[in-house]
């Protein structure tokens, strides 16, 4: 395999069709980072990161600066030596998760394109369709119902409702969605918005309303692992750890402290290779795995879908960000299924 001869990082600004609110704030656009890696054979790989300061600790400007600095680490090295390259990037830029993701993805994509194989092969399998849920952001009851009905009409069978604000308001919204979408699978994601006591109150109330939730995702602060474990002990609904887990070591701590039933392994927090490690830890501990996204284009969602297809380890798939964009980097079909292909992750940006 040939050497990496160039790395280029540039902003990738993507408008949303509507504002997207979670307990951590409101986003009106995705201020992402696009990385291109070129090899001596003329092959180009593409990677994307989606920095969100309250989660990843990065702004777009910071992620761009880091990704550009990564050229000094990767240029002149063999693209096929991707594991050592990724280790060196992580150790050189610790905590720069969005920038590292964009660079790592571009390297993996270029490596697979040179070998003319789909990215999923690196993770143990061939491409297959991957079905995602649809996320309903925080809003009024009427707005929540409108979005839920639209998702069902578009073919989505799995809905994730953003919560983490006033508990009574969250209960009302979840019950309203159950009424208009009785045949869908429901999850909620509080994005650290509740205390353990509030989480217990929410769980008791929705259960009393006969709402069957498949899981409650990250109800308490990311660093409150004890609180997360307390919720898990006192709530019958499965509990998922998201922002608590960025690294394999974080996953080990969640397992050791009995803090979750499900681990959400996002490429946006960890990168593809570490996501595979986190999923392996969860599987070894008999926990279920979820894979999520930030506000990536098809570059990011198809990369994650290849990890899903390759590993076959994820019980929950939350890769719906392209449905929130006014315009993607490629033309995509509507509906909940990602049809993925190769070589690499299969996405060559067009609309940028």
Q: Are 216 and 235 in contact (CB under 8 A)?
A: yes
pTM score of the predicted model: 0.95
Homologous superfamily (CATH) of 4-116 is Enolase-like, N-terminal domain (3.30.390.10)
Domain borders along the chain are: 4-116, 122-338
> What's the rounded Cα separation, in Å, for the pair 141 and 155?
21
The two structure tokens encoding residue 263: 């681990």
pLDDT computed for residue 351 by the predictor:
65
What is the pairing mode between strands 337-338 and 316-317? unpaired
SS3 25: strand
Residue whose structure tokens are 């004890």: 226
Other Cβ atoms less than 10 A from the Cβ of 65: the count is 16
Confidence of residue 301 (pLDDT cuts 50, 70, 90): very high
pLDDT computed for residue 18 by the predictor:
87
pLDDT computed for residue 259 by the predictor:
98
> What's the rounded Cα separation, in Å, for the pair 29 and 33?
13
pLDDT computed for residue 294 by the predictor:
94
Chain-centre distance for alpha carbon 61:
21
147-200 pLDDT, tens digit each: 999 999 999 999 999 999 999 999 999 999 999 999 999 999 999 999 999 999
> Hey, which CATH number is domain 122-338, 3.40.50.720, 3.40.140.10, 3.30.70.980, 3.20.20.120?
3.20.20.120
Terminal-residue alpha carbon distance, the chain: 29
> What's the rounded Cα separation, in Å, for the pair 238 and 194?
16
Residue whose structure tokens are 């390759």: 310
212-250 pLDDT, tens digit each: 999 999 999 999 999 999 999 999 999 999 999 999 999
Is the four-CA dihedral 305, 311, 312, 316 of positive or negative sign? negative
The two structure tokens encoding residue 174: 């979840």
The two structure tokens encoding residue 346: 């299969």
Other Cβ atoms less than 10 A from the Cβ of 208: the count is 10
Q: Rounded mean pLDDT of 316-340? A: 92
Q: Which of 107, 177, 128, 108 is nearest to 148 (CA)?
A: 177
What is the pairing mode between strands 239-241 and 213-217? parallel
- 307's CB contacts (< 8 A; 6+ apart) are 119, 120, 123, 267, 272, 275, 276, 291
11-67 pLDDT, tens digit each: 999 999 988 888 778 888 999 999 999 999 999 999 999 998 888 899 999 999 999
The answer to whether residue 313 scores a pLDDT higher than 80 is: yes
């Amino acid at each position: 395999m040939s050497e990496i001869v160039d790395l280029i990082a540039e902003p990738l600004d993507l408008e949303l069709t509507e504002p997207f609110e979670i307990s951590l704030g409101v986003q009106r656009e995705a201020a992402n980072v696009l990385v291109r890696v070129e090899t001596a054979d003329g092959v180009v790989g593409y990677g994307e990161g989606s920095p969100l300061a309250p989660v990843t600790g990065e702004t777009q400007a910071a992620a761009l600066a880091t990704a550009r600095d990564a050229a000094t680490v990767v240029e002149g090295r063999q693209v096929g030596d991707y594991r050592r390259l990724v280790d060196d990037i992580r150790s050189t830029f610790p905590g720069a998760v969005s920038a590292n993701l964009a660079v790592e993805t571009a390297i993996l994509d270029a490596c697979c394109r040179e070998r003319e194989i789909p990215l999923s092969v690196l993770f143990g399998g061939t491409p297959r369709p991957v079905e995602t849920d649809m996320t309903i952001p925080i809003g009024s009851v009427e707005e929540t119902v409108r979005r839920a009905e639209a998702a069902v009409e578009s073919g989505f069978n799995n809905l994730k409702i953003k919560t983490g604000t006033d508990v009574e308001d969250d209960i009302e919204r979840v019950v309203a969605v159950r009424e208009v979408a009785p045949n869908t699978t429901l999850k909620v994601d509080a994005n650290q918005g509740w205390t353990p006591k509030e989480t217990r109150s929410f769980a008791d109330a929705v259960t009393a309303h006969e709402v069957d939730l498949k899981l409650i995702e990250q109800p308490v602060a990311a660093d409150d692992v004890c609180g997360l474990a307390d919720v898990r002990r006192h709530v019958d609904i499965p509990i998922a750890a998201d922002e608590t887990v960025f690294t394999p070591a974080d996953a080990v701590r969640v397992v050791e402290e009995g803090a979750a039933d499900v681990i959400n392994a996002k490429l946006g927090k960890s990168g593809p290779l570490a996501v595979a490690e986190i999923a392996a830890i969860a599987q070894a501990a008999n926990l279920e795995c979820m894979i999520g996204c930030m506000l990536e284009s098809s570059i990011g969602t198809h990369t994650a879908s290849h990890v899903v297809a390759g590993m076959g380890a994820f019980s929950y798939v939350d890769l719906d960000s392209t449905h929130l964009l006014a315009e993607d980097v490629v033309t995509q079909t509507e509906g909940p299924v990602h049809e993925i292909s190769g070589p690499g992750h299969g996405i060559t940006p067009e609309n940028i």
